């Protein structure tokens, strides 16, 4: 009888092992979709310059050139006289149609240097974009924006032409 119980127990163990083997090898497969979007490389071109025109300095002040390229009398600070032709640079972005593009303007001060004396400078800062921080590309993949900013003029600013440059960059949002 001991043999019968052992054979019976072995049979149950074998049956259980086979049953578990079948359950353990059952697999569930679930597929996931994968996507990748390829975007056109962005190009950025600029036309014109940030031109504050001519300034007669009567005192220290901040002169604000808006994104349309205008300095109003109220924005020609320090009792200074702003005259002459002013302009704001226009940027053209080309990329993938319908996408939004982030605009990065300088966050710090940019020095404009007197061409006849490199030790004499004025500060350019507080840059703004006509599009805010983002420009949307149209159905043709084009977008445009202009840039304005502030010019800090010293009370005893030397006469002459001051020049400098600043960087603007764009990237997909």
Q: Please write the tens of the pLDDT for every residue from 15-32.
A: 555 555 455 668 899 999
Q: What tokens does 14 get?
A: 């074998």
15-19, 125-129, 151-155: lowest mean pLDDT where? Answer: 15-19
Q: Answer yes or no: is pLDDT of 170 > 80.
A: yes
The answer to whether residue 121 scores a pLDDT higher than 60 is yes
Mean pLDDT of the chain: 90
List the Cα angle 113/148/164 in 5-degree steps: 15
Tokens found for residue 23:
């359950």
Over residues 129-154, mean pLDDT: 98
Instruction: With beta carbons less than 8 A apart as the criterion, state whether 111 and 28 touch.
Output: no
Residue predicted with more confidence, 26 or 101: 101
pLDDT digits 0-9 by tens, 36-92: 999 999 999 999 999 999 999 999 999 999 999 999 888 898 899 999 999 999 999
Check: CB of residue 50 under 8 Å from CB of residue 124: yes
pTM (predicted TM-score) = 0.81
DSSP annotation of 131 reads T
Tokens of 117: 């004396």
Q: What is the C-alpha to C-alpha distance for residues 131 and 145, in angstroms, rounded to an integer?
A: 6
Q: With a cut of 80, say whether residue 5 has pLDDT above it.
A: no
Tokens of 164: 């400098």
Give the per-residue pLDDT at 4. 46
Return the sign of the alpha-carbon dihedral for residues 59, 84, 148, 73: positive
Name which CATH class applies to 43-172: mainly beta
pLDDT band at 104 (very low <50, low <70, confident <90, very high): very high
Query: What CA–CA distance (Å, rounded) separates 144 from 138?
Result: 10
């Amino acid at each position: 009888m001991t043999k019968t119980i052992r054979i019976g127990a072995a049979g149950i163990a074998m049956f259980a092992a086979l049953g578990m083997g079948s359950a353990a090898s059952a697999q569930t497969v679930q597929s996931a979709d994968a996507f990748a979007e390829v975007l056109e490389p962005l190009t950025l071109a600029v036309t014109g310059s940030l031109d504050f025109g001519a300034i007669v300095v009567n005192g220290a002040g901040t002169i604000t050139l808006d994104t349309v390229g205008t300095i109003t009398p109220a924005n020609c600070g320090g009792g200074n006289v702003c005259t002459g032709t002013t302009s704001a640079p226009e940027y053209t972005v080309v990329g993938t149609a319908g996408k939004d593009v982030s605009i990065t303007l300088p966050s710090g001060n940019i020095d404009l240097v007197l061409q006849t004396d490199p030790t004499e400078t004025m500060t350019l800062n507080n840059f703004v974009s006509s599009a805010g921080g983002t420009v949307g590309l149209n159905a043709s993949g084009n977008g445009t924006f202009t840039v304005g900013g502030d010019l800090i003029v010293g009370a005893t600013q030397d006469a002459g032409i001051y020049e400098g440059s600043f960087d603007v960059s764009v990237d997909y949002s």
